[in-house]
Structure 1
Amino acid sequence: MQIVLASFNKALRQSIVVIGLMFFINFSGLFFFVQPSYAVGFSTEKPAFSTEKLTPEEKIDRAYEYNRAAGIRAEDRQEAYEQAVKDSESPQSVEKVYERNVKAYEKENQEPNLIEKAEDLIEKVTGK
């Protein structure tokens, strides 16, 4: 009988220790209200590297300050953007833009591609 009580007493003490440790771990989590954040917070002042609120001219000027090639690319992007806005105003102009882009593509790529070569070969073989 003493052996049973001794083993029961030992099991009771171990379970109390385990429950106490679990309680301590859960309770210690309540004291960590502030956790470190490595993300950049919101600031009301405008940082020097922000390009969100710049006008297109300011963006181009800034690109030219970096180097001339960047300025030229910025101008080209701005012109392409303005052209796309103008072209998207009516459905007819969108079709004209598509045709203009196809002509420009064909002008740049005058060599026939693999599919066109295959079509020509099939036409020669079939005689059509």
Structure 2
Amino acid sequence: MQKILLTLKQALRSSILVVGLMVFISLSSSFIFVQQASYATTLEELKLVPPEFKPNSEEQINRANEYDPGIGVQEEERQEAYEQAIKDGESLNTMEKAYERNLKAEEAQNPQESLAEKAKEVIGKVTGK
């Protein structure tokens, strides 16, 4: 009796496995023909942008100055950064120089304390000075 139950259990497991695999294969084959959306663009498509969509720095800066002089200064800095990024993107060498320049600017804004200075602070806190 136990042998019959074991064989029936094995047959049931194998039939469930076969039916499950058939369902999986049929569902996965239905997704093969669905074309995925492509958001990639080529350099030629980027060159087709009409000139009216390119940023006009004079008008934007004047408009920003009318709104608020501080925003006008920010707009000028943004335009300068945009023009610098265009120059930097022309070749690999200029990109490396731009990276180094940005790294130095970031280090100047956020100077890291040396290990000796941190040790002095900790000693000062421990001794109470």
- TM class by shorter chain equals 0.3 to 0.5
Structure index of larger Rg: 1
Taking structure 2 as the reference length, what is the TM-score of the superposition?
A: 0.44
Which structure dedicates a bigger proportion of its chain to helix?
Answer: 2
Taking structure 1 as the reference length, what is the TM-score of the superposition?
A: 0.45
